[in-house]
Amino acid sequence: MWVPRSVNLGVHTIAVVRKDLQPDDAYGIFDTDTLTIFLDSRLEGTLLYETFCHELVECLNFFAEADMEHQTIQVFGLLLAQVLKSIKEEREPAGGKPALSHLG
């Protein structure tokens, strides 16, 4: 599955970098000093996508100073991944027009 090279959150640009993380570093890390999400380069498919979404929630938690427990961040990451995946999988209807063409 695809993840972007960066995302914007408010006025901040959050870089997304694939790199070899040490086994103790988990699958992903949000570095609050450099505003960078690091994703383990060995991840693929749905595990990569869910980890990316998890780290996005870590970003939200940091900027909102929400002090969410890690279990809450985990659940929100899974839910965000499901919502975004369902949008990505949406197909065009029989007429060939995008499903939201009536909006603009």
Q: Percent of the chain scored above 70 by pLDDT? A: 83
Say what the pLDDT of residue 101 is.
43
pLDDT above 70 for 93: no
Structural domains of the chain ordered from first start: 6-85 (1.10.10.2910)
Give tens-digit pLDDT for 11-35: 999 999 999 998 776 899 999 999 9
Q: What is the pTM of this model?
A: 0.82
pLDDT above 80 for 55: yes
- The CA-based dihedral angle spanning residues 53, 54, 58, 63, taken in that order and rounded to the nearest 10 degrees: 20
Say what the pLDDT of residue 1 is.
72
